[in-house]
Structure 1
Amino acid sequence: MGTATVTESGPQQVQGRIRMSPSSGTGRATGTVRPGWSGRFYEDFTVGDIYEHPLGRTVSDADNTWFTLLTMNTNEMHFNEVYAGHSEFGRPLVVSTLTLAVAVGQSVTDLTQNAFANLGWDDVRMTAPVFAGDTLWSESIVLEARASASRPAAGLVTVRTRTLNQRGEQVCSFRRTFYVHRRGALPADRHRPRPTAPLGLDDTP
């Protein structure tokens, strides 16, 4: 049985570049630009790696109410305290698809920052109820990574993600497959505009 590797989220160690002042005839350097976290590419995924997604999310009553409105969910278990109070749960439930949406969102920084298409979610399971006030955390393990036969600049990655509440109880799990760019397939600057003036230590508003 293989051993999984836990991989922490964090900025890649990428060599910085010197930004020159566009308004200076001498080409004075104004600082070193350090790239921020740009996400993982196909080559960065290894089967068995586990990503502990860094951000927890506390779900509020307002989140649940807005989600029922946005999705036109009319089941009173999600917004009628009297109705839900007579159920076995004793209070309103957070909409299951809101829990799923939070889990997917929490995973983006580690998994799909450089993805361009989701191919599907499978084996979705809601294993415990979620209530307003619960804080959700998610983590994912890489199940498969393979090159795309039809898109040479991309690969296919399959992961299993699970979501835990503040007590460490699993509330949700699913498999997900997505297309992700290979390294070098995206422009290095992501179409970032060039500044018209330098940013320096002595700048004033």
Structure 2
Amino acid sequence: MVRRINEVGEGRYREEYGRYYEDFEVGDVYEHRPKRTITQDDNVRFTLLTMNNHPLHFDDTYGEDTEFGECLVNSTLTLSVVTGMSVSDVSYKTVANLGWDDVRLTNPVFHGDTLSAESEVLGKRESESRPDDGIVTVETRGYKQTDEQVIEFERSMLIPKRDTDE
């Protein structure tokens, strides 16, 4: 994560996070921290908040009778947490999130799993319609504590150029 400390007054400092368009290089990989353990409470609240009423996410008895033997973490919670983990490294300065592509759920996530994530810069180009910005595409991968990959997706963002944001 690019972290700058700016003096904003005499003896007064402010942290600045994120990357400008020029800071991204194709092929770079950013390891996101901190990790995040998903609790049963996280899963039940998120599932019900988003109106997903599938019992596999909140009914332990139902979960015990499935091939998994327990409840699964809602896959959109996994997507949300892993995306959120990447914000400080890849999208903190973003003007607009342009979309997710090719979301793949590669292994189940259960209550108590601890997620980590990384993003690889796949491409970057200047915006044709917004000369002060560029478009950056990353592939983000999430893993649980066993090093099993649980999710991967591509995300494109509109990122400001350094000289125009200061």
- Work out whether the TM-score is over 0.5: yes
Residue from 132, 136, 158 that aligns with 1:153: 132
In the alignment, does 2:28 pair up with 1:36? no
Give 5+ residue unaligned stretches, structure 2: none
- After superposition, the Cα gap between the structure-2 partners of 1:50 and 1:18, relative to the gap in structure 1 and judged at 3 Å, is closer
Instruction: Report the Cα offset of residue 10 of structure 1.
Output: 4.8
Which of structure 1's runs of 4+ aligned residues deviate more than 6 A? none
TM-score, with normalisation over the residues of structure 2? 0.95
Instruction: Report the Cα offset of residue 34 of structure 1.
Output: 3.5
Give 5+ residue unaligned stretches, structure 1: 1-8, 21-30, 189-205
2:9 equivalent in structure 1: 19
What is the CA–CA distance in structure 2 between the aligned matches of 1:34 and 1:178, rounded to whole Å?
29
TM-score, with normalisation over the residues of structure 1? 0.77
SS at structure 1 position matched to 2:95 = strand
What is the CA–CA distance in structure 1 between the aligned matches of 2:55 and 2:100, rounded to whole Å?
27
Residue-by-residue CA offset, 1:157-205 (whole Å, 9 max, x unaligned): 000000000111100000111101111333x4xxxxxxxxxxxxxxxxx
CA contact (8 A) 2:38 2:114 kept: yes
What is the CA–CA distance in structure 1 between the aligned matches of 2:67 and 2:8, rounded to whole Å?
62
Counterparts of residues 41-60 of structure 1 (less than 5 Å): 41-60=20-39
Larger radius of gyration: 1
What is the CA–CA distance in structure 1 between the aligned matches of 2:73 and 2:2, rounded to whole Å?
31
CA contact (8 A) 2:18 2:93 kept: yes
Structure with the bigger percentage of helix: 2
Instruction: Report the Cα offset of residue 57 of structure 1.
Output: 0.4
In the alignment, does 2:72 pair up with 1:62? no
What is the CA–CA distance in structure 1 between the aligned matches of 2:132 and 2:62, rounded to whole Å?
52
Structure with the bigger percentage of strand: 2
In the alignment, does 2:130 pair up with 1:138? no
Residue from 83, 108, 111 that aligns with 2:62: 83
Match for 2:9: what amino acid?
Answer: R
SS at structure 2 position matched to 1:103 = helix
CA contact (8 A) 2:93 2:159 kept: yes
Q: Identify the structure with bigger relative contact order (alpha carbons < 8 Å, sequence gap 6+).
A: 2
Q: How many residues align?
A: 166
2:160 equivalent in structure 1: 181
CA contact (8 A) 2:135 2:159 kept: yes
What is the CA–CA distance in structure 2 between the aligned matches of 1:10 and 1:143, rounded to whole Å?
18
